[in-house]
């Protein structure tokens, strides 16, 4: 407990309770779970509604999903500790190739999905997107030997499915469907037997099933995809959570501006009358007058005036009426800079530039676009590493353990020695190649780093096209033998010079202005 000697805010102005700027700034102490206990469901529902109906919110989620997951992270088994597993280099390479082919056989089939709808890349896409919309998502490990030789399949669950059983309140041991031990490690998850607000029956959603977090071998039964902001946080927060109010207000402003522009485009003239006493029945719709149950006009009511709105509309006017053209100020010239400033703040809060989110590069020069792409790439790389750690790697390790148990893969000592198990589970995950604004200049930069021994060719292949150097060399060797067998000469080599790369600078700058 902090000492209460002396008034608050004497050392730090930010802690003052008497300053006019901070007098009404009330910050209450609370744990991470308590902060989410009452608000998480509302945040989740509002985030989902914005994703469905708000263009910028949807663009943000889709942009993050495309840049982080893309076409899916590819598995590349790697044995770095060959002395631990007892293999030489040739044996290790052979084992890795076989394991990779078997995993691809499982991952490329829709049998890896419990619903038989998606392959593994599509499951990654669904799990990541669902986690960003709802705060977290879950992958439930299931087994079905009828349709696959491997048996393992993954069931993706939305965040709403994880909840406390009926009658159970949040506590230190159970919060929002997650049980933990004294150290905070999850021990079990509670899921509703059907999706929330199921079409069939709402009552089934309160029927929960308890699933242990880990199986007998220590592998997860539940793959939990989430990003935490505080320690002791058991559930994730939607990506749009801090932006919901701002984006909703912006949506209302955009709708109002759009409606004003539509009305401005339809109304071309204003009709005025010089006779105050003459009843205005021009364009009146008699069907709009108020009637009783028998269809007779109610006393004291008059037909309402309703003019048909259409572009360039022209109406005939009675005597003593005049028309004047309407000078409108729509579209609003300040609309674009205003909304772009909001987009910029929202994108920065999420960790990306709004140019990348909206695919809007025509207003910036080459250097500005490159800076925006590189800064956004930092966030995408971090999110990808987290997603691989949360989703891809645990599923691969569980698949590998099952393949070893069924005899498809031989891995001596896998279940006997934790060190050997960790060595056998070594794996690299290859993602889509990064977007190159200027392939010529950036490829030359990579070539210079290789020549100066600052980068290996395997890393360069991953950066340029998402491939692997050994696969590229194998294919090049096959093509070489094919050309020799058919009597074809070697293709011409391309000489890359710095002078040619520099000469393209002006072109790049002008094309983006």
pLDDT tens-digit map of 335-373:
989 999 999 999 999 999 999 999 888 777 888 888 889
Spatial separation of the C-alpha atoms in residues 158 and 500, rounded to whole Å:
52
Q: What letter does residue 208 receive in the DSSP assignment?
A: E
205 found inside a domain: yes
Q: What is the pLDDT of residue 503?
A: 41
Q: What is the pLDDT of residue 501?
A: 43
Q: What is the pLDDT of residue 102?
A: 95
CB atoms within 10 A of CB 275: 11
Answer yes or no: do 404 and 483 share one domain: no
Would you state the structure tokens that stand for residue 63, as one six-digit string?
């942009």
> End of a domain among 369, 404, 432?
432
> Does the pLDDT at position 449 exceed 50?
yes
Answer yes or no: do 80 and 160 share one domain: yes
Report residue 248 CA to chain centroid gap. 19
Distance between the two ends of the chain, CA-based, in angstroms?
Answer: 59
Would you state the structure tokens that stand for residue 340, as one six-digit string?
């772009």
CB atoms within 10 A of CB 219: 16
299 found inside a domain: no
284 found inside a domain: no
Spatial separation of the C-alpha atoms in residues 195 and 207, rounded to whole Å:
11
Q: How many residues does the chain have?
A: 513
Spatial separation of the C-alpha atoms in residues 286 and 496, rounded to whole Å:
79
Would you state the structure tokens that stand for residue 143, as one six-digit string?
């087994």
Percent of the chain with pLDDT over 70: 81
Would you state the structure tokens that stand for residue 259, as one six-digit string?
């409606």
**Strand 186-192 versus strand 178-180 pairing type:** antiparallel
SS3 of 225, please? strand
Q: Which helix (H) or strand (E) holds 341?
A: helix 335-350
Answer yes or no: do 491 and 371 share one domain: no
Spatial separation of the C-alpha atoms in residues 64 and 67, rounded to whole Å:
5
Cβ-Cβ contacts under 8 Å for 379 (sequence gap 6 or more):
350, 351, 352
Answer yes or no: do 84 and 159 share one domain: yes
Q: What is the pLDDT of residue 368?
A: 86
343 found inside a domain: no
pLDDT digits (tens, 9 = 90+) for 296-319: 555 555 444 445 556 666 666 666
Answer yes or no: do 47 and 102 share one domain: yes
Single pTM value for the model: 0.81
Spatial separation of the C-alpha atoms in residues 250 and 50, rounded to whole Å:
12
> Does the pLDDT at position 325 exceed 50?
yes
- Indicate the average pLDDT of the chain: 84
Answer yes or no: do 386 and 502 share one domain: no
**What stretches of 357-460 adopt beta strand conformation (E)?**
427-430
276 found inside a domain: no
> Does the pLDDT at position 69 exceed 50?
yes
Answer yes or no: do 79 and 157 share one domain: yes
Residue by residue, DSSP assigns 395-412 as: HHHHHHHHHHHTTSS--T
Encode 157-175: b = buried (16+ Cβ within 10 Å), e = exposed: bbbbbbbbeeeeebeeebb
For residues 283 and 315, is the Cβ–Cβ distance under 8 A? yes
Spatial separation of the C-alpha atoms in residues 110 and 392, rounded to whole Å:
16
Domain total in the chain: 2
Spatial separation of the C-alpha atoms in residues 428 and 15, rounded to whole Å:
48
With left for phi above 0 and alpha for psi between -120 and 50, is residue 316 left, alpha or beta?
beta
The dihedral over CA atoms of 492, 498, 499, 503, expressed in degrees to the nearest 10, equals 100
pLDDT digits (tens, 9 = 90+) for 78-137: 998 888 999 998 999 899 999 999 999 999 999 999 999 999 999 999 999 999 999 999
Answer yes or no: do 132 and 189 share one domain: yes
Q: How sure is the predictor about 433, in pLDDT bands with cuts at 50, 70 and 90?
A: confident
> End of a domain among 432, 457, 482?
432
Answer yes or no: do 229 and 119 share one domain: yes
Answer yes or no: do 375 and 498 share one domain: no
Q: Please, where are the H alpha helices in 425-456?
A: 439-451
Spatial separation of the C-alpha atoms in residues 477 and 486, rounded to whole Å:
14
CB atoms within 10 A of CB 115: 11
87 found inside a domain: yes
253 found inside a domain: no
Answer yes or no: do 175 and 76 share one domain: yes
Answer yes or no: do 375 and 511 share one domain: no
For residues 192 and 207, is the Cβ–Cβ distance under 8 A? yes
Q: What letter does residue 159 receive in the DSSP assignment?
A: G
Q: What is the pLDDT of residue 308?
A: 59
What number is the average pLDDT over the span 157-177?
Answer: 90
> End of a domain among 393, 409, 432?
432
215 found inside a domain: yes
Helix axes 40-53 and 55-68, enclosed angle (nearest 10): 90
* Range of lowest pLDDT (57-61, 251-255, 351-355, 367-371): 367-371
Spatial separation of the C-alpha atoms in residues 230 and 99, rounded to whole Å:
38
Which structural domain, as residue segments, surrounds residue 360?
29-240+352-432
> Does the pLDDT at position 428 exceed 70?
yes
């Amino acid at each position: 407990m902090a000492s209460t000697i002396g008034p608050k805010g004497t050392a730090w102005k930010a802690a003052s309770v008497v300053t006019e700027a901070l007098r009404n700034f009330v910050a209450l102490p609370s744990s991470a779970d308590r902060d989410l206990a009452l608000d998480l469901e509302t945040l989740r529902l509002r985030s989902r509604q914005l994703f469905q109906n708000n263009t910028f919110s949807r663009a943000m989620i889709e942009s993050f999903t495309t840049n982080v997951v893309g076409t899916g992270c590819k598995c590349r088994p790697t044995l770095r500790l060959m002395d631990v597993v007892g293999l030489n280099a040739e044996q290790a390479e052979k084992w890795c190739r076989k394991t990779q082919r078997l995993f691809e056989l499982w991952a490329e089939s829709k049998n890896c999905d419990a619903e038989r709808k998606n392959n593994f890349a599509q499951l990654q896409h669904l799990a990541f997107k669902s986690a960003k919309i709802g705060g977290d998502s879950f992958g439930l490990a299931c087994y079905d030997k009828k349709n696959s030789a491997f048996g393992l399949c993954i069931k993706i669950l939305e965040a709403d499915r994880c909840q406390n059983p009926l009658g159970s309140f949040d506590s230190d041991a159970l919060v929002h469907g997650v049980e933990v031990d004294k150290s905070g490690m999850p021990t079990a998850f509670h899921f509703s037997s059907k999706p929330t607000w199921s079409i069939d029956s709402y009552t089934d959603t309160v029927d929960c099933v308890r699933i242990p977090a880990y199986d007998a071998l220590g592998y997860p039964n539940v793959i939990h995809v989430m990003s935490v902001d505080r320690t002791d946080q058991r559930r994730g927060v939607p990506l749009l959570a801090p932006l919901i109010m701002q984006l909703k207000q912006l949506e209302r402003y955009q709708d109002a501006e759009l409606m004003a522009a539509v009305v401005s485009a339809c109304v071309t003239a204003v009709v005025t009358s010089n006779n105050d006493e003459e009843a205005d029945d021009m364009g009146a719709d008699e069907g709009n007058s108020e009637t009783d149950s028998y269809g007779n006009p109610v006393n004291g009511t008059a037909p309402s005036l309703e003019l048909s709105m259409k572009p360039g509309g022209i109406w005939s006017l009675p005597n003593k009426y005049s028309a004047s053209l309407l000078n409108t100020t729509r579209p609003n010239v300040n609309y674009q800079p205003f909304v772009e400033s909001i987009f910029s703040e929202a994108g920065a809060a999420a960790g990306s530039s709004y140019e990348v989110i909206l695919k809007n590069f025509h207003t910036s020069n080459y250097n500005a676009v490159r800076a925006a792409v590189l800064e956004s790439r930092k966030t995408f790389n971090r999110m990808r590493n987290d997603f691989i750690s949360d989703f891809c790697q645990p599923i691969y390790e569980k698949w590998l353990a099952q393949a070893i148990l069924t005899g498809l893969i031989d891995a001596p000592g896998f279940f006997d020695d934790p060190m050997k198990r960790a060595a056998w589970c070594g794996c690299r995950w290859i993602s889509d190649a990064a977007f190159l604004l200027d392939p010529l200049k950036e490829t030359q930069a990579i070539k210079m780093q290789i020549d100066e021994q600052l980068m290996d060719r395997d890393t360069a292949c991953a950066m340029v096209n998402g491939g692997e150097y050994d696969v590229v060399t194998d294919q090049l060797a096959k093509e070489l033998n094919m050309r020799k067998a058919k009597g074809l000469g070697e293709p011409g080599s391309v000489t890359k010079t710095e002078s040619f790369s520099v000469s393209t600078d002006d072109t790049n700058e002008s094309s983006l202005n």
